[in-house]
Amino acid sequence: MVASHTGTQDVLMEIRNVDKAFGGVKAVDDVSMDLRAGIITTLVGPNGAGKTTLFNVITGELAKDSGSIKWLGNPINRIKPYQAARAGILRTFQDLRLFSEMSVEDNILTAVENNSLPLPVGRAQRTARLERVEYALDRTGLSSKRKIRAKDLAYAERKFLSMARVMATEARLWLLDEPASGLDPNSYEKFLEILREEVKQGVTVCIIEHNLDIVIGISDRIAFLDRGKLLADDEPQKVLNDPALRAIYFGERT
């Protein structure tokens, strides 16, 4: 298990009093939390808790109703998805959103070109980006599949391609929406190994996950959402051992 942290790491993202409602339902309700550098924070909670909505608000997929978000100390309250990506904040989606007719290699290269800071077009820049593609292919075990279309990959390989697209951009913050769902045991272990290694290299991760084995195995910190509200944000054992939170998680609320 990843070692617990005390919360003393540098804060990369400050989320304060964020609200997002759909009609009369508050999907995110006055949420305040920090995403700290160099650790894995896991968002947990029952279905409909607001986890994906919070990701959408952070990256500008949805406009929040109120509250503030700061990235590296700077407000990003009206950020658009492409601006978030170029600022070093990238995410995956439950539906993967791959270019199904494009090759594995081109899927990754497109992510690098679209989500990196604008750079002069030159040999050095092109070489650097190709090196990032090669790194991502190698780390995710997709090198031999580079010319295969995304739609022809096995399910687990498509999951790793989604991760490779983020990995190749050198994003500083990864927001991963159930990236390990449906993986077989071997792929699951490979996923955990990749994630741990990238965190060692300086990546910060916030991950939405329902599988308790993954939550226990990967989390440095856990944030528990329910009905849009943040009920806990603490070290894993403190959250997982709370009987009230466990009852909510397993659908046993009174």
The closest alpha carbon to 137, from 117, 154, 160, belongs to 160
- Going by pLDDT thresholds of 50, 70 and 90, the confidence category of residue 217 is confident
Give 40's strand partners.
205
168 or 5: which carries more pLDDT confidence? 168
**d(Cα 124, Cα 143) in Å, to the nearest integer?**
22
Name the DSSP letter for residue 103: B
Question: Which residue ranges make up each domain of the chain?
Answer: 1-88+172-254, 100-171
**d(Cα 242, Cα 52) in Å, to the nearest integer?**
23
- Going by pLDDT thresholds of 50, 70 and 90, the confidence category of residue 75 is very high
Tokens of 181: 């769902």
What is the chain's mean pLDDT, rounded?
90
Question: pLDDT by residue (tens digit) across 132-146?
Answer: 999 999 999 999 999
Question: pLDDT by residue (tens digit) across 20-44?
Answer: 999 989 999 999 999 999 999 999 9
CATH of domain 1-88+172-254: 3.40.50.300
Tokens of 6: 């005390």
The closest alpha carbon to 165, from 117, 109, 119, 206, belongs to 109
**d(Cα 238, Cα 157) in Å, to the nearest integer?**
35
Task: Lay out the sheet containing 25-36: strands in order across.
Answer: 25-36, 11-22, 66-71, 74-75
* pLDDT at residue 3 greater than cutoff 70: no
Supply the pLDDT for residue 2: 33
pTM tops 0.85 = yes
**d(Cα 139, Cα 185) in Å, to the nearest integer?**
18
Rg (CA), the chain: 18
Question: pLDDT by residue (tens digit) across 91-126?
Answer: 999 888 999 999 999 999 999 888 765 555 667 778
**d(Cα 208, Cα 197) in Å, to the nearest integer?**
19
Give SS3 for 180: coil
Cβ neighbours around 3 below 10 Å, total: 6
Percentage of the chain beyond pLDDT 90 is 71
Give Cβ neighbours of residue 95 (< 8 Å, ≥ 6 apart): none
Give SS3 for 1: coil
- Going by pLDDT thresholds of 50, 70 and 90, the confidence category of residue 14 is very high
**d(Cα 132, Cα 115) in Å, to the nearest integer?**
13
Supply the pLDDT for residue 126: 81
Supply the pLDDT for residue 145: 97
